[in-house]
Structure 1
Amino acid sequence: MQVTDVRVRKIQDEGKMKGIVSVTFDNEFVVHDIKIIEGLNGLFIAMPSRKIGEGDFRDIAHPINSETRSRLQDKIFDAYEKAKLSQDE
């Protein structure tokens, strides 16, 4: 499965959440509301989730292995950096 499009829908300068993206796979399947979060060790992605109890959340969609997560994260961060640069111009 190939990432065929990454759209950065929102960029925020303040707070820990830095952006929200939608990712399209094989021009056939899209996942919305992937968040770019700034943590203690740098940026990471948080997959879309829903609340299942008091303060508990469960991912709605997520990569099954670390290799896939890494490839997805790299594509998202590339698109995020490009969007930030174009926003600053």
Structure 2
Amino acid sequence: MEIKVTDMKISRNADKKIDNGGIVASSTLLVNNMFLINEVNLVSGKNGLCVLMPGMKKESGDFQDYAFFNTKEEREKITVLIMKEYMNRTSVLNEPYTKGMEVNLFIDERGKQKAYATVVIDGKMRINRIRVMEGENGLYVSMPKKKDAWGNYHEVVSMPTPEAYRALNELLLHEYFRQCELKKTA
């Protein structure tokens, strides 16, 4: 099945919606050069970005998609395709935060974990055990955590601002999507 993103409209104040939730972008997909699927939305939630297919709310309160993909693998391909297109259109690699960073990412799917990474800063410092995770609402980056005596997890390394976290999140997800594409063509 051939799928292309033919159009994408980035929402006004998309960067604020990434932090606060909402529709970040709306896409149109062309499937097998025959069907156009409009209103395929990239949405920000509490666990990161996810892709929602167009649908309607039924009287019962449930949602029914007009178009959907039968397998998890196909849905993941669409998510990667739309997020990659969004990143390409918005130049997500936020230079002030990511300048001098090198990412070594390894795809390693274990439950909700999709990959792990080491970030090298200016060749002088390494931050290990950063993970790309899949949550209810899509992929997100999880910083290294340590379990305390009471069984609670606390970040060992954290980001000082939401903008810094978003820049690191986008840098790692960009590399994750790039490696997913390479894996498909290999």
Q: Same fold (TM over 0.5)?
A: yes
Deviation beyond 6 Å, 4+ runs, structure 1: none
Higher mean displacement: 3-12 or 17-26: 3-12
Cα distance per residue 1:21-61 (max 9 Å; x no partner): 11111222111110111111111111111111232011111
Greater Rg by CA: 2
Structure 2 gaps of 5+ residues are 1-96
1:67 and 2:67 matched: no
1:25 and 2:84 matched: no
1:42-53 alignment to 2 at 5 Å? 42-53=138-149
Residue in 2 aligned with 1:36?
Answer: 132
The Cα of 1:3 is off from its aligned counterpart by: 4.5
- Structure number with greater CO (CA < 8 Å, separation at least 6) is 1
Structure 1 gaps of 5+ residues are none
Instruction: Tell me the distance in 1 between the aligned counterparts of 2:125 and 2:162.
Output: 20
RMSD between aligned residues: 1.6
What is the one-letter code of the residue matched to 1:18? K
Secondary structure of the residue that 1:44 maps to in structure 2? Answer: strand
Residue-pair matches, total: 88
1:10 and 2:107 matched: yes
Contact 1:19 1:37 in 2 (8 A): yes
The Cα of 1:15 is off from its aligned counterpart by: 2.1
What is the one-letter code of the residue matched to 1:64? P
What is the one-letter code of the residue matched to 1:51? K
Instruction: Tell me the distance in 2 between the aligned counterparts of 1:80 and 1:3.
Output: 19
Instruction: Tell me the distance in 1 between the aligned counterparts of 2:107 and 2:176.
Output: 10
Instruction: Tell me the distance in 2 between the aligned counterparts of 1:11 and 1:78.
Output: 16
Contact 1:11 1:84 in 2 (8 A): no
